[in-house]
Amino acid sequence: MKYILKNIQNKWEVSYEFYKNGNLKKIEYPADLLEKFNGNYKPFAVSYSELQEIIQKSVGKFQLITVQADLSFAAFWNAYGYKVEKQRAEKLWKAMTDTEKEACFIGIKKYDKFLSTGTRAKKNPDTFLHKRAWEDEY
Residue 38 to residue 111: CA distance in whole angstroms: 36
Taking only the tens place, the pLDDT of each residue in 82-132 is 999 999 999 999 999 887 898 899 899 999 999 999 888 999 999 999 999
Model pTM score:
0.58
Identify the residue with better confidence: 68 or 137: 137
Kindly list the strands in the beta sheet with 62-67, ordered across the sheet, starting from the edge strand earlier in the chain.
Answer: 24-28, 13-18, 2-7, 62-67
Which region holds residue 7: left if phi is over 0, alpha if psi is between -120 and 50, else beta? beta
Domain ranges of the chain: 2-67, 73-135
- Directed axis angle between helix 98-115 and helix 73-80, to 10°? 10
Distance set, CA 32 to CA 8, 44, 72, 101 (Å): 17, 14, 26, 19
**pLDDT mean over 21-40:** 74
The whole-number pLDDT of residue 20 equals 81
Higher confidence at residue 68 or residue 96?
96
For the chain, state the CA radius of gyration: 16
